[in-house]
């Protein structure tokens, strides 16, 4: 700094003038710095929300144009795929050609290459014009170069140069953020399309039989219920025929399952065509085969006949179907003739609801097969005495609870990183007093329909609490997950009963986990939210079971206090062979991780599946790779032996 002390010979007027000049220069300097800071702030504010590259550059230009020395300029950005530069944007269209020439010249003399690597900016003379190059980059990412022609090589004020450099830095971050957003958006769109496609496939798979493309059992039942309601309003009758191919097993055994499947497809095509021909009302109303024929499963088909087929009675229709199917089918270079047995039930004569109508037709079919096959029988009420009715099954369910015929099994959930058992899922099994094991998918739906699922569910919770208490006594702090049905979850005293069992067996709340399906969670949003918040306050974990097979909606994951997502085995089973399933599982795990949720993969059966899941940061697995469901005694042995050594699973799988 200059010495402003007045020399002895200098007049007071000269000294004062010098002092004034100095203060004015300092004021100009501060104003210039303020102008730089204000300009940078405005650029940052205006471009931070730009949605595309062109908009970023256009808004930036409004501030760059304020720098007096700037004449023409353009942004030369790099194409990430081709690694080539192009002049993407210029401040005036007439500037494009001159700037392109400057760019070509600088590439040729090496100045351009220097600028791509240098953080310094300086004015150079190119083609007789003063040119400044400023590197556009963020840490570890080079984006391009700003090429600007300035008024003169010496007149470019330093504070304007600082403003230009800072502005370019903000532009670089905005461009980089926009690119990242674009990439994320593309990935999100891709994952959403995969999920939508998989959802449609799952919906189609649940509504249509993949072999014959006829309606599935559940879909046909819905159509049957609609038909019965319409028939009831119009005082009409409906006839249901349950048809079973005779000795179909011989085709599978003799020609293989692939040829057996082909026979089923050809039978489905003939039934569809002939039944439409037999039902003039269906033809008149334009009904499709979905309204008439269903592949009921295995070698069984279900047919729906309206009462307007007055030209032929049911016996005649069945005889014509028999004649049609008796014509040879060409399978594997062979001619095959096929007979069938059938059971018939009618609305309203034999039943007034779809479930009973199908059941009564099934009873008649069983009787027809017992009498020698190749026959059909029409249901009569005496047949009811020889078959198990839904009332009898409900009665057996009541008795099963009273007679303690239910058993609890527990399937371990294993930490796939260190092989430790981190949880158990409680699974109910039914063994009647005759020693017959009745599968859960047979009695659980009936229990839900009859309301017995509530007392059965309460019993399951009690058994799970007992088991937690028993494990604590043995030194194992392992949480147990219990499946909760929609009806049980909606009970007004659900939480009260739950707390009663927890307190009765002195179970820490974090050691009992409740598993809900997506449909249970979404059935009543308001009540569900209140109940889940109460459970969260109590410290009871909640998991979503079979994630991805229900609503496939992600919004509720943010709305509800959920702790765990269980990835359905339908996705896990093909995760190493199906790229779409792999992408969906990866997306679910990543999404859960971003929301702070744990993931448990269900149905893990192979080492390859486990390794894939571990690589995607899913730590917990459940499935036959680790253990089948275990009785209490087997569980004690399993935990004591600590046999879940993942390194030995391939050669010595657990149980």
Of 286, 39, 258, 278, the C-alpha closest to 168 is 39
Q: How confident is the model at residue 643 (pLDDT cuts 50, 70, 90)?
A: very low
CA distances 259 to 246, 335, 340, Å, are 16, 12, 18
Distance CA 212, CA 242 (A): 17
Of 530, 557, 539, 549, the C-alpha closest to 206 is 549
Query: Among the residues of 134-286, which ranges form H helices?
Result: 158-207, 217-233, 248-255, 257-278, 280-284
Q: How confident is the model at residue 15 (pLDDT cuts 50, 70, 90)?
A: low
Q: Which residues pair with 483 in a beta bridge?
A: 515
pLDDT at 478: 95
Judge whether residue 104 has pLDDT over 90. Answer: no
- What length does the chain have? 655
pLDDT at 11: 63
- Tokens found for residue 400: 């099963």
Q: What is the pTM of this model?
A: 0.46
Is there a contact between 488 and 495 (Cβ–Cβ < 8 Å)?
no
- Tokens found for residue 591: 């999404």
Cβ neighbors of 40 (< 8 A, separation 6 or more) are 163, 166, 167, 170
How far from the centroid of its chain's Cα atoms is residue 52's Cα?
30
pLDDT at 310: 41
Query: Among the residues of 279-406, which ranges form H helices?
Result: 280-284, 314-326, 354-370, 390-402
* Domain 217-387 matches domain 391-648 at the CATH topology level: no
Convert the pLDDT of each residue in 409-442 to its tens digit: 999 999 999 889 999 999 999 988 878 788 887 7
Residue of higher predicted confidence among 514 and 403 = 514
Convert the pLDDT of each residue in 344-381 to its tens digit: 998 888 878 888 898 889 888 877 886 777 888 888 87
Distance CA 76, CA 471 (A): 68
- Tokens found for residue 312: 């032929």
CA distances 112 to 107, 137, 152, 163, 465, Å, are 5, 15, 20, 22, 73
- Tokens found for residue 618: 């899913």
Distance CA 251, CA 258 (A): 10
- Tokens found for residue 61: 């230009």
Cβ neighbors of 124 (< 8 A, separation 6 or more) are 106, 111, 130, 131, 132, 133
Mean pLDDT of the chain: 81
pLDDT at 125: 82
**Reduced to 3 states, what is the DSSP secondary structure of residue 605?**
coil
Distance CA 603, CA 117 (A): 53
Q: The domain 31-182: what is its CATH number?
A: 3.30.450.40
Distance CA 531, CA 536 (A): 9
Half-sphere exposure of 406 (CA within 13 A, CB side): 24
Distance CA 354, CA 342 (A): 18
pLDDT at 39: 54
pLDDT at 308: 47
DSSP state of 408: E
Q: The domain 391-648: what is its CATH number?
A: 3.20.20.450
Judge whether residue 342 has pLDDT over 60. Answer: yes
Convert the pLDDT of each residue in 174-220 to its tens digit: 888 878 888 888 888 888 888 888 888 888 777 888 888 888 887 88
Q: How confident is the model at residue 611 (pLDDT cuts 50, 70, 90)?
A: very high
Distance CA 265, CA 211 (A): 7
Q: How confident is the model at residue 28 (pLDDT cuts 50, 70, 90)?
A: low
| Domain parsing of the chain, residue ranges | 31-182, 217-387, 391-648
Task: Sort residue 83 into left (φ over 0), alpha (ψ -120 to 50) or beta.
Answer: left
Distance CA 164, CA 159 (A): 9
Q: What is the DSSP string of 80-100?
A: TTT--EEEEEESSGGGHHHHH
Judge whether residue 311 has pLDDT over 50. Answer: no
Q: How confident is the model at residue 650 (pLDDT cuts 50, 70, 90)?
A: very low
Q: How many CB atoms lie within 10 A of CB 260?
A: 20
217-387: CATH superfamily: Reverse transcriptase/Diguanylate cyclase domain (3.30.70.270)
- Tokens found for residue 204: 């189609």
Distance CA 589, CA 584 (A): 9
Cβ neighbors of 11 (< 8 A, separation 6 or more) are none
Rounded to a whole number of angstroms, the distance between the first and last alpha carbons of the chain is: 87
Residue of higher predicted confidence among 523 and 318 = 318
Residue of higher predicted confidence among 369 and 499 = 499
Q: Is cis: bond before 173, omega within 30 of 0?
A: no
pLDDT at 289: 37
How open is the CA angle 624-630-635, to the nearest 5 degrees?
115
- Tokens found for residue 210: 């993949």
**Reduced to 3 states, what is the DSSP secondary structure of residue 499?**
helix
Distance CA 186, CA 249 (A): 50
How open is the CA angle 247-251-256, to the nearest 5 degrees?
150
Distance CA 322, CA 554 (A): 51
Judge whether residue 634 has pLDDT over 90. Answer: yes
Is there a contact between 182 and 174 (Cβ–Cβ < 8 Å)?
no
């Amino acid at each position: 700094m200059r010495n402003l002390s007045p020399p002895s010979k200098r007049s007071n007027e000269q000294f004062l003038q010098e002092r004034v000049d100095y203060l004015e220069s300092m004021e100009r300097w501060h104003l210039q710095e303020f102008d730089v800071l204000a300009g940078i702030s405005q650029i940052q504010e205006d471009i931070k929300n730009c949605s595309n590259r062109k908009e970023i550059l256009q808004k930036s230009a409004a501030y760059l144009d304020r720098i007096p020395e700037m004449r023409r300029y353009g942004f030369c950005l790099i194409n990430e795929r081709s690694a080539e530069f192009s002049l993407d944007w210029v401040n005036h269209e007439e500037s494009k050609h001159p700037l392109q020439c400057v760019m070509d010249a600088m590439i040729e003399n090496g100045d351009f290459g220097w600028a791509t690597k240098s953080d310094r900016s300086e004015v150079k003379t190119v083609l007789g014009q003063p040119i400044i190059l400023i590197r556009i980059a963020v840490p570890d990412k080079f984006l391009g170069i700003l090429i600007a022609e300035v008024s003169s090589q010496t007149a470019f004020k330093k504070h304007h140069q600082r403003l230009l450099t800072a502005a370019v830095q903000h532009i670089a971050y905005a461009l980089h953020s926009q690119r990242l957003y674009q990439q994320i958006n593309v990935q999100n769109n891709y994952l959403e399309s995969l999920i939508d496609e998989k959802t449609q496939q799952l919906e189609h798979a649940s509504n249509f039989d993949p072999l014959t493309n006829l309606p599935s059992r559940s879909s046909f039942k819905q159509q049957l219920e609609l038909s019965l309601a319409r028939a009831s309003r119009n005082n009409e009758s409906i006839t249901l025929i349950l048809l079973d191919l005779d000795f179909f097993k011989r085709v599978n055994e003799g020609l293989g399952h692939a040829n057996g499947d082909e026979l089923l497809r050809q039978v489905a095509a003939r039934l569809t065509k002939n039944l439409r021909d037999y039902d003039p009302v269906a033809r008149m109303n334009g009904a499709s085969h979905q309204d008439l024929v269903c592949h009921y499963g295995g070698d069984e088909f279900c047919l729906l006949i309206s009462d307007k087929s007055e030209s032929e009675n049911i016996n005649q229709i069945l005889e014509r179907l028999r004649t049609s199917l008796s014509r040879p089918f060409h399978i594997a270079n062979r001619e095959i003739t096929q007979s069938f047995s059938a059971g018939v039930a009618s609305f309203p004569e034999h039943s007034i609801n779809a479930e009973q109508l199908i059941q009564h037709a099934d009873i008649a079919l069983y009787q027809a097969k017992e009498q020698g096959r190749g026959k059909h029988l029409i249901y009569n009420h005496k047949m009811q005495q020889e078959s198990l009715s839904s009332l009898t099954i409900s009665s057996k369910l009541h008795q099963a609870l009273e007679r303690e015929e239910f058993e609890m099994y527990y399937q371990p959930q294993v930490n796939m990183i260190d092989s430790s058992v981190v949880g158990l899922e409680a699974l109910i099994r039914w063994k009647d007093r005759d020693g017959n094991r009745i599968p859960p998918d047979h009695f659980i739906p009936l229990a839900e329909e009859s309301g017995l699922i509530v007392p059965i569910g309460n019993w399951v919770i009690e058994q799970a609490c007992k088991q937690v208490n028993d494990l604590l006594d043995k030194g194992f702090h392992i949480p147990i997950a219990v499946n909760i049905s929609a009806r049980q979850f909606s009970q007004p005293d659900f939480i009260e009963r739950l707390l009663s069992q927890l307190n009765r067996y002195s179970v820490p709340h974090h050691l009992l986990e409740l598993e809900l399906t997506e449909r249970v969670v979404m059935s009543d949003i308001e009540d569900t939210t209140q109940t889940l918040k109460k459970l969260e306050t109590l410290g009871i974990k909640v998991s979503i079971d079979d994630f991805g097979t229900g609503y496939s909606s992600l919004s509720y994951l943010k709305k509800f206090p959920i702790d765990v997502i269980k990835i359905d085995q339908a996705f896990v089973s093909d995760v190493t062979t199906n790229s779409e399933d792999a992408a969906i599982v990866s997306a679910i795990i990543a999404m859960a991780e971003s929301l702070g949720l744990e993931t448990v993969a269900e149905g893990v059966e192979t080492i390859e599946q486990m390794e894939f899941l571990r690589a995607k940061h899913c730590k917990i697995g459940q499935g036959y790779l680790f253990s089948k469901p275990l009785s209490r005694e087997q569980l004690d042995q399993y935990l004591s032996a600590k046999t879940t050594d993942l390194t030995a699973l391939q050669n010595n799988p657990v149980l």
